Amino acid sequence: MIGRIFDAANDSFMGVVVAKTNTKWDKYRPWLLTRPLLSAFILYGLSGDYYYLTDGWLPRTQ
């Protein structure tokens, strides 16, 4: 239920943002070009190995 409420609010918000986008490339193209790159960086950051941030106190997993 919370997901549906968030989705309804998020879809409305992004609809307004996209509708107000005014570039030389049209409304949708900047979002279609930048969103996959942003998602790729976020997913890479979430799946990274952060052992170097622990100063060696955390045992390394296999």
Torsion of CA 27, 32, 37, 39, to 10 degrees: 100
| DSSP characters over 28-59 | SHHHHHHHHHHHHHHHHHHTS--GGGTTT-SP
Residues in the chain, overall count = 62
27: which DSSP letter?
S
pTM: 0.51
Per-residue pLDDT tens for 10-62?
999 988 988 888 888 888 888 888 889 999 988 888 877 666 666 666 666 65
